[in-house]
Amino acid sequence: MLPDCPEGRSRGRRAIAAFLLVLVVVASLLASSIVMAVGIWTQKADMPTPRGALGVVAHPNGKIYAIGGGVAGSDTAQPVGTVEEYDPQSNGWTTRAPMPTPRMSFGVALTGTGMIYAIGGYASQGPTTALEVYDALTDTWVASASAPGARWGLAAAEAGGKIYAIGGIVPGGALLSWVQEYDPNANVWTSVASMPTARYFPGAVTGCNDKVYVIGGRASGPSGPAPSRAVEEYDPVANAWVTRANMPTPREGLAVTRLPDCKILAAGGAQQSGAAVLATVEIYDPQTDTWATADSMPTARYVPGAATAANGKAYVMGGTHGRVLFATVEEYVRSLATPGVTISESDGSTQVIEGGETDTYTVVLASQPSADVTITAYPGTQVTVRPSTLTFTASNWDAPQVVTVSAVPDGLAEGPHTGAVEHRAASADPDYNGIAVPRVTVSISEAAPAPIPSASSAALVLLTIAFTVFLGLRAITAWRLRSSSE
């Protein structure tokens, strides 16, 4: 037996306490990003003009507007007023009326009236206070009341019919926590509660709860400004801010957009002012205050724009990587469904008759694939299927396809028996390639034989034949008698 050692017990208790603390920390970290959000990225038609630090807005008319931004200059990016309209349905671009004040790194927001507001930013002569309003239906711009202070690297969002200009940076390098509210009806600016974390190049978006979420950006740190993980929620009704769960990846110059299920997509950005550019995508759920890691964008980029169109798909456009400016457009479709193949048999089973009745079953995928999925049916020798090959794409994956089963009329007296249809899946999508597909067991009956006459029926038939013969013989006899008498 070991001797009692108070010092050893104390060390043991400290070790257990430290271990439990580590478990708590790890659990809290995992809780913020424990789900893998499944989604698909697809490259679409490039913007006509490569650029970064642009504004991207989805309009109720179904189109997306890429506004302003910075293009390549002799030494640094040069602000432009270019406006290009993207049609997700045709995957085509149209040039529209340019913004009067060329600029980049500005705030942009859409109101319920369908007007698009461009606020502040960095213009040809430096930071600007310009507020300009675009009417997509008439393709015209008008100037409105200037913002209270010149700044760039700000974010903007609309909530409750008002527009909020949030954060940014001013000449001299001061990071801002300013928040100004703009009333489009009164054409008036009002200062509201400042954001807890001063920062520039954050993302801002309004949730389904009509609260504004400000995410990431470049904020003050112990060693100077640094990419931030901070998420802060603004309630316009209460004029108050609440700190929410940190984004897993600290970054600035990211793009954010609200998805159809009310979750918020945060894409791209950088960790060192344009260096260490990211393709990272993370999704925030305001309802549960949790983050999920999603499939990365194909293209890593800094200061892109993003918007979710009326078709429910999110689009990330433009951006930079070092001195490279992107025209790249990538479409994101999110699904949390687990990959799988579902087979549904009519009436819960499949029953066929040789040379007679057929039956059907349907096949459908459980989630959207990233590449075509081919399901091939192998029916063996007892049955046949039509069609034997089914193809599911990213657009028809959730539409059940019908397979018809027939029995092979082999002429053998086998009695009731069974057949089976096996299936195999093939795809360039690793989640679906070789995935297990249920087997269909088929109950087979033989065609009913010709009915066998009963005893009474047989007797009746024999009696009929005998009577017929009797009548025939009688007729022959009568004919002979007549012939003899003649």
pLDDT (0 to 100) of residue 234: 98
Which CATH number do you get for residue 142?
Answer: 2.120.10.80
Q: Are 74 and 27 in contact (CB under 8 A)?
A: no
Report which DSSP code applies to 348: G
Query: Is 80 exceeded by the pLDDT of residue 484?
Result: no
Which pLDDT band holds residue 352 (cuts at 50, 70, 90)? very high
pLDDT (0 to 100) of residue 359: 96
pLDDT (0 to 100) of residue 33: 38
Which pLDDT band holds residue 485 (cuts at 50, 70, 90)? low
pLDDT (0 to 100) of residue 251: 97
pLDDT (0 to 100) of residue 2: 30
Which CATH number do you get for residue 425?
Answer: 2.60.40.10
The span from the CA of 315 to the CA of 337, in Å, is 21
**For the segment 130-169, what is each residue's pLDDT rounded down to a tens digit?**
999 999 999 999 999 999 999 999 999 999 999 999 999 9
Q: Are residues 263 and 361 in the same domain?
A: no
Percent of the chain predicted with pLDDT > 70: 83
Q: Are residues 78 and 201 in the same domain?
A: yes
pLDDT (0 to 100) of residue 474: 61
Which pLDDT band holds residue 214 (cuts at 50, 70, 90)? very high
**For the segment 84-101, what is each residue's pLDDT rounded down to a tens digit?**
999 999 999 999 999 999
**For the segment 434-461, what is each residue's pLDDT rounded down to a tens digit?**
999 999 999 999 876 655 555 555 555 4
Expressed as residue numbers, the domain containing 416 is 341-445
Q: Is position 479 within any domain?
A: no
Mean pLDDT of 342-371: 91
Average pLDDT in the chain: 87
Report which DSSP code applies to 133: E
Report CA-CA distances (Å) from 406 to 193, 375, 443, 449, 451.
Answer: 72, 19, 11, 19, 24
Higher pLDDT, 224 or 475: 224
pLDDT (0 to 100) of residue 429: 87
pLDDT (0 to 100) of residue 452: 55
Q: Are residues 245 and 182 in the same domain?
A: yes
Q: Are residues 137 and 155 in the same domain?
A: yes
Q: How far does the chain reach from its first CA to its final CA, in angstroms?
A: 143
> CB atoms < 10 A from the CB of 290, how many?
17
The span from the CA of 117 to the CA of 139, in Å, is 13
The span from the CA of 51 to the CA of 327, in Å, is 6
Q: Is position 7 within any domain?
A: no
Query: Is 80 exceeded by the pLDDT of residue 478?
Result: no
Q: Are residues 312 and 422 in the same domain?
A: no
pLDDT (0 to 100) of residue 394: 81
Mean pLDDT of 362-381: 92
Q: Is position 477 within any domain?
A: no
Q: Is position 485 within any domain?
A: no
Last residue of a domain, one of 317, 335, 353: 335
pLDDT (0 to 100) of residue 398: 85
**For the segment 237-277, what is each residue's pLDDT rounded down to a tens digit?**
999 999 999 999 999 999 999 998 899 999 999 997 667 99
Q: How many domains does the chain have?
A: 2
Q: Is position 177 within any domain?
A: yes
Q: Are residues 259 and 152 in the same domain?
A: yes
Q: Is position 385 within any domain?
A: yes
Q: Is position 480 within any domain?
A: no
Q: Are residues 256 and 396 in the same domain?
A: no
Q: Is position 42 within any domain?
A: yes
Q: Are residues 349 and 210 in the same domain?
A: no
Q: Is 415 left (phi over 0), alpha (psi -120 to 50) or beta?
A: left
Model confidence, pTM: 0.67
Last residue of a domain, one of 335, 356, 371: 335
Nearest to 68 by CA among 87, 45, 86, 49: 49
pLDDT (0 to 100) of residue 26: 36
**For the segment 275-331, what is each residue's pLDDT rounded down to a tens digit?**
799 999 999 999 999 999 999 999 999 999 999 999 889 999 999 998 899 999 999
The span from the CA of 325 to the CA of 52, in Å, is 6
Report CA-CA distances (Å) from 355 to 48, 76, 405, 410, 441.
Answer: 62, 78, 12, 9, 18
Query: Is 90 exceeded by the pLDDT of residue 13?
Result: no
Which pLDDT band holds residue 430 (cuts at 50, 70, 90)? confident
Q: Are 318 and 284 in contact (CB under 8 A)?
A: no
Q: Are residues 185 and 320 in the same domain?
A: yes
Q: Are residues 116 and 262 in the same domain?
A: yes
The span from the CA of 349 to the CA of 358, in Å, is 12
Q: Are residues 314 and 397 in the same domain?
A: no
Q: Are residues 397 and 263 in the same domain?
A: no
